[in-house]
Amino acid sequence: MSGSPALQDVPLGTPVSAAATTLAALVLDTGTPLDRAFSLVAEHLIAMPRVEVVTMALTTFAPEDETGWIHLGERAWVTEWLRPGAACSILPDPDAGPEAALSMPWVSPRAREAALAVTDIDLLPPEAEQDRRELAANGIRSLMAQAQVSDGVMFGSLAVGSSGTGPWPPDNVADFRLLSAALTSRIALEQARRSLAEAVAVGAQGREAQQHFLASLGHELRTPLTAIMGYTEMLVDEAGERGEETFAKTVSHDGRVIMRACEQLMAVIEDLLSAGRVVADADLRESVDVQAAVADVLHWHRAAAETAGVRLSSTMSAGQTVWAHPPGLRQVLANLVGNAVVHNVAHGTVVVSTESLTGESGEERLRVIVRDSGPGLTSEQLAHVFEPFIRYAQPTVKGTGLGLSLSQSVAERDGGTIGAESTPGSGSAFWVELPVHEDGHHP
């Protein structure tokens, strides 16, 4: 232990109860539903004479049955079991946010290393004053706590509390350790099972998406090829039937149709080849200066924006970096800015900005937002805008409908996401979000 008089030192060899041994085996049995295992452990602990409240938290996945659990933030579920007449409780209101969770800055890191038995919160050291205040505010004067950690991954925590003080019975501490360890192993197994199921589901979705893409690609290529073959066949037939002057006029008209079809084919092929080169890039990700990348992209689109009467600007801050492939980030931004220009209105604007965010695992992320003043999209259009070959542009606007779909693939390859918000008549905001790079260390 740390030498603090508040922490009770119970030798690891302290005998556990026969009931706890039997219960641990039941918890580890995969035939026992995980929610049932939680309840059985709580029932055993709440039966200990000193215990008034049993608290359990999950941080990696939701319980199968969320009844009685409070969802705090994106990835935290908390529940508790109370002895009748208990004077302590830590469960927040159902509508509470993540700030309602106890922070416990002194106890929490120690509970990640081993089970703690705190005999009296008034004996905690001065540096644990915040822990003492938080516990006292919830009526807890003594507690046992341990985080569920396996291979460096924290799955949750288990704790018991009491409004009384004094040493905990050694066999109670031994039982708590055993049952906490059993829950850790079972939760780690459940996490592995769910991860495998998710991987299988993602693989099935990937195959379905690939089939959809190939079907769409075949359709998009077939249309211009049909035009090329049809008009060419007509020209061949007419070459022997009409005079030179009439045939020349026919070639002049039909040749333009053929050229447009060929240009569409070339555009699709170029988009596919360009994205393929970026996605297949074997180079390692690196720190990318976002302001410099945005400046390059705005420079590339400056002439097109001036021709369209659209004003480009940026509210970027210097020093912001993300962990990505530089060509990939620039291609994604180029697609977003290019779309914002061509789908805008006369005298419209395109503004690039950033927003700092925190991911589900607490990692820092940066969102680069491209906001335009164009006509906007309906909710139905927005739901399909990232699908391949989907276009909502005017017929006069050239494009393949592949840019956003391929940008999504590039962003996800770099551990990022891409999305959009839009209101008809009020413009759109498309964004790409990537992990932040700081101090030379990748996320």
- Decide: 2 and 110 in contact? Cβ < 8 Å: yes
Cβ atoms within 10 Å of 12's Cβ, excluding its own: 8
Q: What SS3 state is found at 152?
A: coil
Q: What is the pLDDT of residue 440?
A: 39
Domains 18-198 and 283-435 fall in the same CATH topology: no
Pairs from 402-408 (Cβ < 8 Å, separation ≥ 24): 402/268, 402/271, 402/272, 402/275, 403/271, 403/335, 403/338, 403/339, 404/335, 404/339, 404/430, 405/213, 406/271, 406/272, 406/274, 406/275, 406/279, 406/335, 407/331, 407/332, 407/335, 407/336, 407/432
- Residue 349: name the closest of 318, 370, 377, 379 by CA: 370
Pairing mode, if any, of strands 70-71 and 428-435?
unpaired
So where are the chain's domains?
A: 18-198, 283-435
18-198: in CATH 3.40.309.10: no
Q: Which residues 6+ apart lie within 8 Å of 211 measured at CB?
A: none
Q: Identify the pLDDT of residue 441.
A: 41
pLDDT of residue 128: 93
State the Cα–Cα distance between residues 442 and 439, nearest whole angstrom: 9
Superfamily of domain 283-435: Histidine kinase-like ATPase, C-terminal domain (3.30.565.10)
Query: Are the beta carbons of 414 and 323 closer than 8 angstroms?
Result: yes
Residue 405: which of 264, 260, 274 has the closest Cα?
A: 274
- The residue with tokens 């360009």 is 274
pLDDT of 227 reads 64
pLDDT of residue 17: 94
What pLDDT does residue 1 have?
43
Angle at which helices 34-46 and 18-28 pack, to 10 degrees? 170
State the pTM of this model: 0.50
Backbone angles phi, psi at 235, to 5 degrees: -65, -40
For residues 279 and 413, the answer to whether their CB atoms sit within 8 Å is yes
Mean pLDDT by runs of 10 across the 443 residues of the chain is: 78 91 92 92 95 91 85 79 90 66 84 92 94 93 91 86 95 95 90 69 57 55 63 61 59 62 61 54 75 90 88 90 88 89 90 86 86 90 79 60 78 87 91 76 43
* Tokens read off for 57: 């938290």
